[in-house]
Structure 1
């Protein structure tokens, strides 16, 4: 009788599963919504193909309702073979939101690209993308207090050409002239 009463009660008052844990910030989603600051200018540079000055933009995702003053940040760099794609590409928006739901600040960036008819010029576009990635890191350091970023904990992630840009930005010594001079572009 006692065990059937417990079974009956458990149908209406479920107990936590054995081994259930409290979500852990930065590992698990702990926020339910994010704020997005769209089209934030983080630098400017001349596109070597169009010879026009381009304003470089990022969308910054932060956890809604978070009170932590210093959060790790992630710069997210889209793919597209250096000729297509954008910071608003679905998979990179999803990645940025996922990071923000876990408590990070995520910045999805655009970078200078080559026109698709100039695919053979990709080495130069790769160089531009890593310079622009570094400018985004410098921007987050420069405005760390505005966006709640821990300036000592800025990482980067990317897909395809964006992943290549991240690796290059991590190792390439030249800073480029995409913006925010005087601030460290170290990815750590």
Structure 2
């Protein structure tokens, strides 16, 4: 496994070129980098705001720049950008995260219009809710995690993957540009 800093355009370009040299053309790629931070605007430093934007928005641009033209030249491919509720609305204490995720969503919308006519499907997926992963268990703690699981409040990673694959397999005559995925008990 190669570590790649997606905030650096050259690293992303080299990574994509090496993947395609080893495995052939990339047909489906998912950008799933975010930086969920929670600080009041008074407590958000410029450094935190900038790093949050670099991780969520700038990395998405580098991802798209390295893959989009390749896919467009071939006339096929799917680029999926994972977003969050913060992609569509800001909330108190999430100015850095919401700003970055709004930018990622706007990028996906622009790319859908730019690359779609070349045969590249671009979609933005809003993940609204905690995902059944060890990382989420660590964040919320064992008791809260098990309570969420018991009430059906966790998104199943396999179900998310299935939804992403379904986007990739959609016929060109009926593409989805944005979907929301959430557990059935999520309040929205």
User: 1 or 2 for the larger relative contact order (CA 8 Å, sep ≥6)?
Assistant: 1
- Relative to its length, the structure with more strand (as a share) is 1
TM-score category, normalised to shorter length: under 0.3
Kindly indicate which of the two structures has a greater share of residues assigned to helix.
Answer: 2
**Normalising by the residue count of structure 2, what TM-score does the alignment of the two structures yield?**
0.28
